[in-house]
Amino acid sequence: MVSPIVHAQTYSGFDKFTDNIKLFFSFGDNKVKLALEIGEKEVDSAAENVKLGNKDQARKNLDSASNKLNIVQSKITSEATEELKEQVKEVEKSIMVV
* pLDDT tens, per residue, the chain with 98 residues: 344 344 446 787 899 999 999 999 998 878 988 999 999 999 999 999 999 999 999 999 999 999 998 888 788 766 666 777 888 888 888 887 65
The pLDDT value recorded for residue 98 is: 59
The pLDDT value recorded for residue 5 is: 42
Q: With helix as H, strand as E and coil as C, how does 16-61 read?
A: HHHHHHHHHCCCHHHHHHHHHHHHHHHHHHHHHHHHCCCHHHHHHH
pTM: 0.68
